[in-house]
């Protein structure tokens, strides 16, 4: 089996590639090759049974996209994207990658005349106020940002190309991934991770919004689990509406902080500095806070138990089970 991952140098892309290499197979089929794409070379290393084909380039370049699909991968996982804050501040860049990129990729797959599985990373940003709480699975798309609009367009393309039989697609509306390891990115949601990640390292973190802000979260481990399930599952029960809201944990910022306190103590919480940012607060105010996600759960997708579990997962995966602040 040959699997293509776009955006493979990103956090979820790296972790997904590592999981695929560790597992070595999907069901009864051995994974023989991973094509890993990004704008920088992914550093994932091959194994004895699985080769790595790195491709570097911008998805807004059709020639790059043609190279990605030339060998007809069996599975295509489309993770590449310009994140929310950057897509809002740089209109052309956001549409170049998040709109043109998926359009070029799906069109290139259509012209190859075979039927791979396509797994598309969408986002809960496809919803905007006003909406019910929690948001049901059949609620209409109401994006209020350029990023959300771009993801919603990608969903429509995925549904239509699947309907026409060009490939077998499924879209996953991801919660905000928290706690993201590494350095902060340009996502407007980055502070959700920052206020956990930095204090666990013994570093100060800035909180730009009120503690009453509530949001929908999933750990990186849970996100990888979503994609692994989507790669191997039977798609027939999904039906014609191919995009699903993934299950997650609804938590306020205050509940996040209490989860941090319960795991790492007052010393970690004391490193959070309140610094209101009206721009970030304005963006966040239009985001959804909770979902039913019944379709995804019924189809076998599973999420973290609670936000304290998310904090503990981060410590296990990124700090070997014990964060520096805990010593």
**Catalytic center residues:** 147
Number of helices followed by number of strands (H, E) in the chain: 13, 14
- Residue 213 has a CB neighbour count (10 Å cut-off) of 21
User: What residues have CB less than 8 Å from 179, skipping those under 6 apart?
Assistant: 193, 196, 197, 219, 220, 310, 311, 314, 318
**Tokens representing residue 54 in the block:** 């790195």
The DSSP symbol for 291 reads B
* DSSP characters over 161-226: HHHTTS-EEEEEEEPEE-SPPSS--S-TTHHHHHHHHHHHTT--EEE-S-TT-EEEEE-HHHHHHH
Please tell me the distance from the alpha carbon of residue 313 to that of residue 303, in angstroms, as a whole number: 12
**CB-facing half-sphere around the CA of 89: CA atoms within 13 A:** 11
- Rg over alpha carbons for the chain, rounded to the nearest Å, is 19
Three-state secondary structure call for residue 79: coil
Please tell me the distance from the alpha carbon of residue 247 to that of residue 293, in angstroms, as a whole number: 5
Residues in the chain: 327
Please tell me the distance from the alpha carbon of residue 34 to that of residue 180, in angstroms, as a whole number: 24
E strand intervals along the chain: 2-6, 25-26, 29-30, 33-38, 51-56, 75-78, 117-123, 168-174, 176-177, 205-207, 214-218, 243-245, 249-252, 272-274
């Amino acid at each position: 089996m040959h699997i293509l991952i776009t955006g493979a140098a990103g956090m979820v892309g790296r972790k997904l590639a590592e999981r695929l290499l560790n597992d070595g197979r999907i069901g009864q089929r051995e994974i023989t090759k991973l094509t890993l794409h990004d704008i920088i070379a992914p550093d994932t290393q091959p194994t004895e049974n699985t080769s790595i084909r790195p491709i570097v380039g911008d998805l807004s370049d059709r020639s790059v996209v043609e190279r990605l699909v030339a060998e007809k991968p069996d599975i295509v996982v489309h993770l590449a994207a310009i994140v929310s804050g950057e897509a809002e501040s740089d209109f052309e860049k956001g549409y170049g990658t998040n709109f043109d990129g998926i359009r070029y990729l799906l069109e290139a797959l259509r012209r190859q005349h075979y039927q791979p599985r396509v797994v598309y990373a969408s986002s809960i940003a496809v919803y905007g106020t006003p909406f019910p709480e929690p948001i049901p699975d059949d609620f209409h798309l109401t994006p209020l940002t350029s990023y959300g609009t771009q993801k919603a367009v990608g969903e429509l393309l995925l549904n239509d190309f699947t309907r026409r039989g060009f490939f077998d697609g499924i879209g996953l509306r991801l919660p905000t991934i928290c706690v993201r390891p590494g350095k902060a990115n340009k996502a407007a949601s980055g502070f959700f991770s920052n206020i956990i990640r930095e204090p666990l390292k013994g570093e100060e973190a800035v909180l730009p919004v009120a503690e009453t802000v509530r949001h929908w979260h999933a750990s990186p481990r849970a996100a990888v689990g979503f994609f692994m399930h989507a790669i191997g599952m039977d798609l027939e029960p999904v039906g014609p509406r191919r995009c699903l809201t993934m299950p997650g944990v609804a938590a306020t910022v205050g509940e996040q902080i209490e989860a941090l306190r319960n795991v790492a103590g007052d010393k970690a919480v004391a490193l959070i500095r309140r610094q209101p940012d009206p721009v970030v607060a304005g963006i966040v105010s239009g985001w959804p806070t909770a979902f039913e996600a019944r379709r995804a759960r019924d189809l076998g997708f599973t999420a973290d138990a609670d936000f304290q579990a998310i904090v503990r997962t981060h410590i296990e995966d990124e700090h070997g089970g014990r964060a520096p602040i805990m010593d």
